[in-house]
Amino acid sequence: MYALLFAEPVVDRNALRAFVRDGIHRSSLIRRCGEGDRGAIQALLKGFWPFVQAFERAIDVRVGRLPTRPLIQRFGQSRVRAFFNEAREAVREMKDEEGSHALLWREGAAEMGVTLQDDLTIDGVTTLLENAGSEDEVEFFCWLAGTEYIAEELAAYLCHQPAFNAAFPSGRWVWGLAHLMHDHDGPSHLEIDEDLARAYHPSTDPAVAGTAIHAHIVNCEARFAMAADDVEKVLLPVAA
């Protein structure tokens, strides 16, 4: 059985989900997507593509060069080795089940007739990606966790909107559906990310670590809402 490094989370996951849901519901772009506005859906898919693609690449590169000494000093070599072996297996299984998220995003874009641009620059989206590249392990894993909260709540909102689904020729958004799947064994990406953020945090006080982790995740969620506003302003300037 896969075991995380900590038995209990140090953040209020319900509060973090409520915060990102509020941002989603307040977003004009996301609401328009939910109403089946084809232009808004195309803007969402086009505007956030550079982040979706580059973020997946950044994870693959960064995870491969994580420093293990701080974790070994804290938890012992055998426990850390077992953790990473099992974490890699859990992530591999999830990727096998879900497929590449970037490929699924591209598939949805193709359905909607969207030409994706790797070099598209929109301020809020660029800021999201810059923070995701933090060299600080705590911030890095918090940004991963924040992105998972966003993805899951965005999927939960849009994939339950009939008008949104009807805009796709297939009647479904494959990227969103992948983020609604929770049938795999073991912990989720989100749980692994939060576990590692706490493991790398220098304080052993759960309250101190929890406060810092919560703040980083909220920052990520807030930046997403701002990025959605920027995408709408740039790609839908008349309606914004």
Six-digit token string for 11: 């953040």
From residue 1, how far is each of 90, 93, 95, 113 by CA, in Å? Answer: 11, 14, 19, 44
In this model, does residue 192 exceed pLDDT 70?
yes
- In the CATH scheme, what architecture does the domain 34-235 have? Up-down Bundle (1.20)
Quote the CA–CA distance of 176 and 216 in Å, as a whole number.
Answer: 24
Q: For residues 240 and 236, what is the distance between their CA atoms, to the nearest angstrom?
A: 6
Residue 171: helix, strand or coil by DSSP? coil
Look at residue 140 and give its three-state secondary structure: helix
The pLDDT, as a whole number, for residue 68 is 84
CA distances from 102 to 55, 116, 184, 214 (A): 9, 11, 20, 27
**Residues 117-154 pLDDT 10s:** 988 999 999 988 887 777 899 998 899 899 999 999 99
- The SS3 of residue 118 is coil
Report pLDDT digits (tens) over 79-125: 888 877 776 666 565 455 444 888 999 999 999 999 999 889 999 99
Q: pTM of the entire structure? A: 0.89
Query: Residue 163 has which token pair?
Result: 């008008």
Structure tokens, 188 = 């989720």
On the question of pLDDT at 46 being above 50, the answer is: yes
Binned at pLDDT 50, 70 and 90, residue 57 comes out as: confident
**Domain extents in the chain:** 34-235
Residue with tokens 């084809």: 38
Cα(75)–Cα(111) distance, rounded to whole angstroms?
Answer: 47
DSSP 203: -
